[in-house]
Amino acid sequence: MSQAITLSARNLTRRHGRREVIRGVSLQLRRGEVLGLLGHNGAGKSTTMQLLTGTLMPNSGAIEICGYDLAKQPTHAKACIGYLPETPPLYRDMRVDDYLVFAAKLHRVARSAIAGALAETKRRCGLEDAGGKIIGTLSKGYQQRVGIAQAIIHNPDVIILDEPTVGLDPTQIRDIRALIRELGNAHSVILSTHLLSEVENICDRVEIMQHGQLIYGDTSVRMQRFGHHTGFVVTLLAPPALAELKAVDGVESVEALSDTRFKILHTSDTNSAAALLAAAAEGGWQAQQLTPLQGNLEDAFVQLTQNETAA
Partner 1 sequence: MILTIAHKEFRSLFAMPSTWLLLGALQFILAWFFLARLDAFLQVQVQLAQLANAPGATQSVAAPLAGTAALILMMLAPIFTMRLIAEERRNQTLVMLMAAPVRSWQIVLGKFLGLFLFLLLIIASCVLMPLALTLGTHLDAGLLFSNALGLLLLTASYTALGLYFSSLTTQPIVAAAATLAVLFGLWLADMGAADSDMAWRAITPYSHFQNFNEGLLRSADILYFALFSAAFLLLAIRRLHNNRTYG
| Residues, the chain | 311
Per-residue DSSP letter, 163: S
With beta carbons less than 8 A apart as the criterion, state whether 150 and 118 touch: no
Phi, psi (rounded to 5 degrees) for 88: -60, 135
- Minimal distance in Å, beta carbon 55 to partner 1? 4
Q: Does 133 bind partner 1 (CB under 8 A)?
A: no
How many whole angstroms separate alpha carbon 264 and alpha carbon 140? Answer: 47
Q: Does 166 bind partner 1 (CB under 8 A)?
A: no
With beta carbons less than 8 A apart as the criterion, state whether 263 and 230 touch: no
By CB under 8 A, name the one of 3, 4, 26, 57 that touches partner 1.
Answer: 57
Three-class DSSP category at 233: strand
Q: Does 215 bind partner 1 (CB under 8 A)?
A: no
Q: Does 25 bind partner 1 (CB under 8 A)?
A: no
- Minimal distance in Å, beta carbon 102 to partner 1? 5
Q: Does 137 bind partner 1 (CB under 8 A)?
A: no
DSSP H helical ranges for 38-187: 45-53, 74-79, 96-106, 114-125, 140-152, 170-186
Q: Does 6 bind partner 1 (CB under 8 A)?
A: no
By CB under 8 A, name the one of 39, 44, 54, 212 that touches partner 1.
Answer: 54
How many whole angstroms separate alpha carbon 109 and alpha carbon 291? Answer: 54
Query: Which residues have a Cβ under 8 Å from the Cβ of 216 and sit 6 or more positions away?
Result: 206, 207, 208, 223, 226, 304
Q: Does 55 bind partner 1 (CB under 8 A)?
A: yes
- Minimal distance in Å, beta carbon 84 to partner 1? 10
Q: Does 91 bind partner 1 (CB under 8 A)?
A: yes
Q: Does 112 bind partner 1 (CB under 8 A)?
A: no
How many whole angstroms separate alpha carbon 19 and alpha carbon 49? Answer: 18
- Amino acid, single-letter form, for residue 211: H
Three-class DSSP category at 9: strand
- Give the DSSP H or E segment for 206: strand 205-210
By CB under 8 A, name the one of 76, 124, 228, 261 that touches partner 1.
Answer: 76
Q: Which is nearer to partner 1, 2 or 75 (CB)?
A: 75
Compute how many residues bind partner 1; rule: CB under 8 A: 30
Q: Does 161 bind partner 1 (CB under 8 A)?
A: no
Applying CB under 8 A, the span of 30-38, 53-61, 125-133, 266-274 interacting with partner 1 comes to 53-61
Q: Which is nearer to partner 1, 55 or 185 (CB)?
A: 55
Q: Does 90 bind partner 1 (CB under 8 A)?
A: yes
How many whole angstroms separate alpha carbon 205 and alpha carbon 34? Answer: 6
- Minimal distance in Å, beta carbon 106 to partner 1? 4
Applying CB under 8 A, the span of 49-57, 165-173, 253-261, 290-298 interacting with partner 1 comes to 49-57
- Amino acid, single-letter form, for residue 271: N
Q: Does 37 bind partner 1 (CB under 8 A)?
A: no
The site for partner 1 (CB under 8 A) is made up of 16, 53-57, 74-79, 81, 83, 85, 87, 89-94, 98, 102-103, 105-108, 150
